Amino acid sequence: MAGPGLRLAIRIQDALYGMRASWGRRAGRVPTVVPFIGYGGEGWIRVLGRVVLRKPGRAPADRFTSVRGWRSFTSIPARDAAVTVTAGDATGVVRADRGGVIDARFEVDLSPGWSTVRLSVDGHDGVDFPVFVVDPAAAFGVVSDVDDTVMVTALPRPFLAAWNSFVLDEHARTPVAGMAVLYERLVRAHPDAPVVYLSTGAWNVVPTLTRFLSRNLYPRGPLLLTDWGPNHERWFRSGPEHKRISLERLANEFPGIRWLLIGDDGQHDERIYGDFARRHPEHVRAVAIRRLTPGEAVLAGGRAPASERGRETVPWVYAPDGAGLSAQLDELGLLTPPNTGETRP
């Protein structure tokens, strides 16, 4: 239960949101949906996006436009907006939260693979967004961390989120060597596998991270991020708790999938993945950990203790880059299409 200080902070934040929204509407801005990549299963999809107030006719930046992260935090959220979802033959309404974030389950039957869903708000022109519907027969998937796993950050963790969110654009971020090739080999071997990117960043930076992943040829997939600032339970969101909850949700949503969990050895990923593997070994195919350089490890606050790695439940592999992880995952048979009878050279 929220204490009086937290309740006051929430009221102040809500008042600021309300003042900015009133100003924006008086200035002629209208609710606009910024769609994120979604995913789904048999009979449902998870709709992800954000509703903000923008000038009429202003299109969001495309995948080739350089945008610094801080611009995402200056947008005015459209709180509690009603968003119309059109997917296949189904139409319904979902609602954004107090920060304008859409994160809702929508009941609809779509064919496995990529589909296009349309979102609109207040009768304005809608926008399309892609959603990956997981085949009920799929038995393998990938969950990947972002910072220091797919892109090099090399910053002290206390400053990491602020720097990546407010300062850098996607052109200034450096991909981890060999990781995009590894992910491409994984999806080529498992064409029906979902690829989910799990980060402790704020929902505001999803467009920036999506452009980074696309520009560096990572497989397309949903980004699961989190809220910043106070909510009804705590002053600040817990990044590790967000990851734990997201993994549990994926395990419940796709009970037939065994996940390859990919992260780095900078404190949290090993502990989170190890705990999940001990609780749900039937949902984990393997864990792949990118070893940070000594300098990166210092900035990350050290490495996780060996006792937290949960080696007793599932295979674990370690390497400093994608090429090293690829060789070891190949030995585990994860880069060979299943049931083909192929042999590795």
- Does any domain span residue 238? yes
pLDDT tens track for 231-267: 445 444 667 899 999 999 999 999 999 999 999 987 6
C-alpha 7 chain-centroid distance: 29
pLDDT at res. 195? 98
Which residue, of 133, 163, 191, is where some domain finishes?
A: 133
pTM: 0.84
Residues of the chain with pLDDT under 50: 1, 6, 61-68, 70, 156, 230-232, 234-236, 307, 341-345
Could you tell me the two tokens for 115?
A: 């589909």
- Does any domain span residue 345? no
pLDDT at res. 145? 95
- Does any domain span residue 237? yes
Contact between 250 and 259 (Cβ < 8 Å): yes
Cβ neighbours of 246 (radius 10 Å) = 18
The tally of domains found in the chain comes to 2
List residues bridging with 46 in a β-sheet: 39, 105
Buried-exposed string 319-344: b where 16+ CB fall within 10 A, e elsewhere: bbebebbbebbbeeebbbeeeeeeee
d(CA 255, CA 276): 14
**Residue 220 half-sphere exposure toward CB, CA atoms < 13 A:** 15
pLDDT at res. 10? 56
Contacts made by residues 151-160, CB under 8 angstroms, sequence distance 24+: 151/175, 151/176, 151/212, 151/216, 152/176, 152/296, 153/296, 154/295, 154/296, 154/299, 155/299, 156/299, 156/301, 157/266, 157/267, 157/299, 157/300, 157/301
177 and 104, same domain (yes or no): no
237 and 279, same domain (yes or no): yes
Which DSSP symbol is given to 147? B
pLDDT at res. 202? 80
172 and 64, same domain (yes or no): no
CATH number of the CATH domain containing 128: 2.60.40
d(CA 125, CA 118): 10
- The CA radius of gyration of the chain, in Å to the nearest whole number, is 20
18 and 103, same domain (yes or no): yes
Which residue, of 133, 154, 170, is where some domain finishes?
A: 133
173 and 268, same domain (yes or no): yes
- Does any domain span residue 146? yes
- Does any domain span residue 341? no
Which residue, of 73, 101, 133, is where some domain finishes?
A: 133
Could you tell me the two tokens for 185?
A: 């080999």
Handedness of CA 184, 49, 133, 248 (dihedral sign): positive
Contact between 48 and 222 (Cβ < 8 Å): yes
Give the alpha-carbon dihedral of 284, 246, 330, 282, to 10 degrees: 10
Which DSSP symbol is given to 266? S
Cβ neighbours of 166 (radius 10 Å) = 15
319 and 200, same domain (yes or no): yes
In what helix (H) or strand (E) does residue 121 lie, and over which residues does it extend?
strand 113-121
Domain encompassing residue 297: 140-331
Handedness of CA 126, 129, 135, 139 (dihedral sign): negative
Contacts of 82 (CB under 8 A, 6+ apart): 93, 94, 95, 121, 122
- Does any domain span residue 219? yes
Contact between 91 and 85 (Cβ < 8 Å): yes
CATH number of the CATH domain containing 325: 3.40.50.1000
Q: What is the DSSP string of 285-308?
A: EEEEEEPPPHHHHHHHT----GGG
Which 3 state secondary structure label does DSSP give 13? helix
C-alpha 335 chain-centroid distance: 23
